[in-house]
Structure 1
Amino acid sequence: MEINKTIELPYAFFITRGRMDLQLLETFLDLAETKNFTMTAKRLKKSQAAISLQINRLEELLGKFLFDRDNRNVNLSQDGEVLVSYAKQILNMHQELLYRFSALPIEGTVTIGATENFCATELPEILSLFTKQYPKIILKAYSDSAKNLKTLFEKEGVEMIIFEQLSSNPIAESIPLKEESLVWIKGKDFHVDFSKPIPIILGPEGCTYREKTIEALDDAKIPYRIIFSSASQTGRLSAVKTGLGISILPTSQLKKEFEVLEQAPLPKLPKLQISMLKSKKISLAQEALSDHIFMQFQG
């Protein structure tokens, strides 16, 4: 059972308790996500000593230990878990306030790329809300595979991308939006014959879901054949629904016409992280969009 740890505080603390640098919360959230001082220091472009100093300062201000540390691990304490929710709300409201009361309306053009799965689900509504709030910002949105989007981003063809990557090995500069659990799916009336190569339905080359499906089956030494491949999620799901083969899907996108396959010998699938990368050439328009997207995922 975890012991609730409290820090002994000087009297002067209680006089200044209400004053807090928001950068402390930003550093805290990043460390809570990476669980690694070195990675957080790299992402925030600060020294490890500076990160440690900020975390210590925040713990002193709140009078609680926020992390349980040892030589190898950095994990949130019980109080740290509570602070995560508050910190996200405070930073989101602070950013929204700044934009809402800015002296001049924000103008400019932002190019954003996203994977097809995201374009077919959350992105349209998120962008629609954004254009109503920032009518003077011109958006240009593109859909492609995660591999192609990262190449385009590196060549500065887009200012921002939203893509899937392994939760266990994220790109250091990426901003996590949400985590997805993947499951095997089939049509309600389709019977999978595991004595034969399994018919699978996949996205195109460069699609993260395609790569992870093939990796999982190869690692488990399960024979398969690619019976249908399409860049269209609608097309892939239609093929699954009609019983052409099986595929994988995030649990958040499950529909009643599909059945989850959990039986052996199908292997367990890795968790994926929906992430955002944004250009280092920051503009007010780009910052407004990236903050808007982040806030939509924080609920």
Structure 2
Amino acid sequence: MIQQRQPRILLHTYPRWFYLPAALVYSVFFLIPTALAFYFSLTRWTLFDSTFIGFENYSDFLRDPQLVAGLLNTMIYAVITSGLKVLIALPLAVLFTSAIRLKGLFRSIVFFPVLVSTVAVGITFSTLMQPSNGLINTALGALGLPQPDWLGNPSLALYSVALVDVWKGIGIAMVIFSAGILSIPLEYFDAAKLEGGAWVAFRHVILPISRNATFTVILLSFIGGLRSFDLIWTMTHGGPGFASDVLTSVIFKQYQAGFYGLSTAGNVVLFILVTIIVYPLTRAFNRLELEL
């Protein structure tokens, strides 16, 4: 009996060994660093030693006035960028999947900013948005329009960077929407044309069937907005003052100042914030998908 059962046991457990390489990679590059980050957030540490201080870093971090401004700016930035990407990318995807000439060229033009380095985009738009001799204000002045200080005005800086983020990321959102639209059977569009034309096709065919693509764009854009750093740091360094500081730039400033334990606690706060926001959104989207 033992000799008969042994091959069955081996046959049952054999495929599970293929999980081992992925489990090792996941543990080394995610689980272990995450556990170490949680531990070091409870310490005052340097490169050579550490002292356990409990939740003191968290209390100091949460009392920091920069954090309050950074949390609010992070949420504003994430909502603006994710919302505008949906509102702009969906019409573009509808346009570029229709029967128009040179649609491949137009898609390439819209997608091109995705391929450009974020730092290069930030430097370029910092030059274009110069208040005195930037190309944008020069064009506005030629038209007789106001010439604002896009990055130096505390009330405009965060929104100016958010618009640049939308310009850079709109291509990815358009590709996702285009894939969703192209997967719709042509018979649906033929039926919509009989009922009322393009608006009926958009309202009753594209919007409902592309809902999964919409959820994907919202989630990816929102997570990217919560974690955004490089574009904001390149264009404003979080300024003027704390006007465009987000949570990641506040954490980076703490690292620069040598408060490693405090900034590690900030990273844990960011991790928890992303989890608290994204997990319910994912569950809600999955529930809506099952109801369709």
TM-score, scaled to structure 2: 0.27
Report the structure number with the largest CA radius of gyration: 2
Which structure's residues are more often helix, by fraction? 2
Which structure's residues are more often strand, by fraction? 1
TM-score, scaled to structure 1: 0.27
Work out which structure has the larger RCO, using CA pairs closer than 8 Å and 6 or more positions apart in sequence: 2
